[in-house]
Structure 1
Amino acid sequence: MATVKGERAGTVGVTVVQVEKGSNADLSGLKDASEYADKTPYYVHFKLTKTAEGNDDDTSSHFEVYDGGKQLTELMVLTTLDPTGDPSKPLVTRRFERCKDASDTTYKTATAGQSVDGCTVFLADKGTGAPSTVKWTRRSDTLATWK
């Protein structure tokens, strides 16, 4: 766990638990899945631990993932509501179950010492190797690095 300063005050404990290689089939349920035909997803499983002086409003920090000097692309997957055509159940919720991000609300209501698990998806282009470095950054500043 790396304890990093918050954007305005306090600190947060950030832990990279695992980087897991997925398969292209994981992306087949996404809208416009053909856009990801030559991509390999990697899942960064992480934990955010609230410290005694925990920071609740750091929205500018995020992970970056690299294969050597090449940065992988973060994939933001949003929950969707799709119409069903059935008046008794007009909408169905679709989520990307393979990797769920940490809940901001859960973290904000956590007490000191509690952790929130999360996952972020990164895409490697064809020919890009497995991630070798994960960074926790804020704007252009690297706050922690895992290799």
Structure 2
Amino acid sequence: MKPIGSSRRTMVLAGLAAVGTLTLTACSDDGSSSNTATSAPIAPGATPVATASSTPTSPASSITAAAPTSSAAAPAPAVSAPAPGTTVKIGAAVQLPFSYGGDQGAIALTVTSIEKGDPADLASLKLDDNAKGLMPYYIHYRVTNIGNTDLSFTNVSHIKGLLADGTEAPDLMVFGTFAKCSDGSMPSEFTNGKSADLCIPAMSPKTSRVAAVEYWDDPYTLDNGITWK
């Protein structure tokens, strides 16, 4: 997994309600970041700050067990990544090589839907004025382990929304739980055939919409990955 980085991406992170602090984090290509108080000017397209509600919620991911297999499973076939810039339809599964912490595996990744939310969904989050005029969208995706490597506790999160004009949708990064949409790591014993359904929120001006989704983890780069629309 590569660290998230882009000189033009600005993401505002949300802390737990107990923290009570709103923080702006700007990510750059060299991995450095700078923090400023939310009262400072924020670049156009910046994401609204959010603080998750302290009310416990159930995890948004769901796990589907594979059918029983023999203990002497044959090696999984090698998986080749589609060419950078490939576009597929929402609902189509794309097979990808996947590495995490030095472990080499393979996944099938499917963007299953893009759900338009409601500004009222954000009532439990402490948003600043940058949220005005923005609409939440929820990118639902499924990860299936198609290799023979146990991918327990790995994370597939290099996923972003694209607006109708092809530009990047602002990210809403929430530390804590957000009942409407929560990504997360795979569970323990995430072995061949098991799937997890996850969600990543994105924001859009009310004059536009989140119309497509891009995955840009290795072997891809930001703005040159696999797109679902």
State the TM-score, normalizing by the size of structure 2. 0.50
The gaps in structure 1 that reach 5 residues or longer are 80-94
Q: Deviations over 1:61-86 (max 9, x none)?
A: 5112112221101211121xxxxxxx
What does 1:92-131 align with in structure 2 at a 5 Å threshold? 95-101=177-183, 103-106=184-187, 108-127=188-207, 129-131=208-210
Question: 2:173 corresponds to which residue?
Answer: 76
Residues 54 and 146 of structure 1: CA distance in aligned 2, closer, same or farther (over 3 Å): farther
Structure 1 residue 115 displacement after superposition: 0.3
Query: 2:117 — aligned with what?
Result: 22
Provide the identity percentage: 27
SS at match of 1:71: coil
Q: CA RMSD in A?
A: 2.4
Residue 124 of structure 2 aligns to a residue whose secondary structure is coil
CA distance change for structure 1 residues 18 and 105 in 2, over 3 Å: closer, same or farther?
Answer: closer
Distance 1:113 1:143, change over 3 A: farther
What displacement does 1:114 show? 0.7
| Secondary structure of 1:12 counterpart | strand
| Higher percent of residues as helix | 1
Deviations 1:95-141 (A, max 9, x none): 3111121x3241x52121110111000011242x2222211112625
SS at 1:28's partner residue? helix
| TM-score of the superposed pair, with normalisation by structure 1 | 0.75
Larger Rg: 2
Q: Distance in 2 between matches of 1:52 and 1:28?
A: 41
Distance 1:48 1:65 in 2: 17
Distance of 2:106 and 2:132 partners within structure 1: 39
Q: How many residues align?
A: 129
- Which has more strand, going by share of residues? 1
AA paired with 1:64?
K
Amino acid at match of 1:114: K
C-alpha spacing 1:53/1:59, structure 2 compared with 1 (3 Å): same
Unaligned runs of 5+ in 2: 1-92
